[in-house]
Every structure is written in C-alpha cells, then in structure tokens.
Amino acid sequence: MVWNSRIRVLLVGLIFSSLTFLVGCSDDSPEAPEVSDPRILPPTEDILMQNYLTSVVDMSYDDLDFILHEEFRLGLLPSTIEDWDGSGNPLVGDHFDKAAMLSIHENLFGEIEGMDEHGLVVSYVESISFDVFDKVRDWEPIAAGNVFFEDYPEAYRARYSVLIHFNNPDYHRWEVDHMLDIIVLPVTLDETTGYQLLGIYGYSPFSAAGTEEISYDGVLAMYRF
C-alpha cells in the first residue's frame, strides 16, 4: 500500500509538470510586439508609422524611399507658404511631392546646411528625434472631398500629436510641436499586401516659452536647396 501511494504521488507530480510545460509553451502566452523590415510592406498602419519614424531617426534614405507611396504629398501650411513668398526662393504649389521629400531628406541625412526664408544659412541637422508621437485619433477612412487625396477613397487617416526635434551641432534645435494628419494607403507589391505612406499634413504649431514656433513643413522647407 505504501508503494502504491508513492506511485500515485509520483504520477500526479509527472502529470502536473507536463501540464505546466504545455501551458508555458501554449499559443496563449503574451506575444512580443510585431516589428517589420522597412523594406517589406508592413501589414498594419501602426507598423508603417514605426518604420517611418525609424527611417527618419536612422537617417535611412533607401528605407524612406520604400515607405513613401509614389503619389506621396506633404501639405504646406498657408503660413509656411506666406513666410517664403517674399523670399528669393518662394515655395511652388501647396505641397511637397515624393521627389521633393526625398531630396529634402537627402540633404538632412547628408548634413547639408539649409537656408531660411531670409536667405540666411542655417546649420545642418546632426540628428532627428521624435520625442512625442502619440495617436490622438484612430485610423478611419479618409474624408470625402479631401483636396490632396480625393483620388484615393480607399486611404486611411489618423491624427498624431508630435514633438520632433531637429538637432543642430551648435546646440540649437528646431522644435516642432503640433498635430499631424497621417494618410496611408493599402497597396500590393510583388504579391504582398500592406501599407505605404501617402501623405502628411499639419496644423498650426503650438508655441512655448523659449522656443521658436515652427511647423514640420517649415523645417523641411529650409533644407530643399
């Protein structure tokens, strides 16, 4: 009887250990956050935005080139257009297309000096940081009649609150603090379906004591030469 009891205890212990191992290996365990190679179409809008941030922070021209849709547009604020109207290099049109966006970032990533609307040289950008990039309005179908993307009713839009720093080597930095609407488009490339970045357009920036009020497009405009 003693041996039978010991055998029963041993069997219960083995069964419990086996169940513990199986539970630990089950598919119900928490999964690590999904990540994506920037050169592969991401399966979700949020991963696309992670890839966009990474490409800019890492200053990767080729990654950015893949992330941007061929019809990409970055809308220019009326105030930005007005700022440059009286300069020797006024802005043409109401947006930057993909070619302009890539040219600007080639200068940014290549540590090329810029020029402001007064014709003064500004320091090159040493690094870029997205200190705040919070989604404040979730992804939804783009509104009908959107002037920039009326040809893409299948696009989606979300709104982000951002705080972006373009850091210069002379301890100066451009601080962008405002809202951005992000437009993404589902696409299929080489039999893979995912998302590309179709557009960005912002709102008037917030102003804070001790900082220069400037918009995202306002910073980019200085590095387009």
Q: Is residue 77 classed as helix, strand or coil in its secondary structure? A: coil
Amino acid at 10: L
Q: Which residues contact 202 (CB under 8 A, 6 or more apart)?
A: 75, 77, 178, 179, 180, 181, 215, 216, 217
pLDDT at res. 18: 41
Cβ–Cβ under 8 Å, residues 78 and 217: no
Domains along the sequence of the chain with CATH: 45-221 (3.10.450.50)
Token code pair at residue 223: 């590095």
Provide the residue-wise pLDDT of the chain in tens; the chain has 225 residues: 443 443 343 333 433 344 343 334 444 433 434 556 778 899 999 999 999 999 999 999 999 999 999 999 999 999 999 999 988 889 999 999 999 999 999 999 999 999 999 999 999 999 999 999 999 999 999 976 677 788 899 999 999 999 999 999 987 889 999 999 999 999 998 888 999 999 998 887 765 544 556 899 999 999 998
Using a cut of 0.75, tell me whether the model's pTM lies above it.
yes
pLDDT at res. 146: 73
User: What CA–CA distance (Å, rounded) separates 99 from 70?
Assistant: 9
Alpha helices (runs of H) in the chain, residue ranges in sequence order: 2-24, 45-57, 61-67, 78-85, 98-109, 216-221
Cβ–Cβ under 8 Å, residues 184 and 199: no
What one-character DSSP code corresponds to residue 224?
-
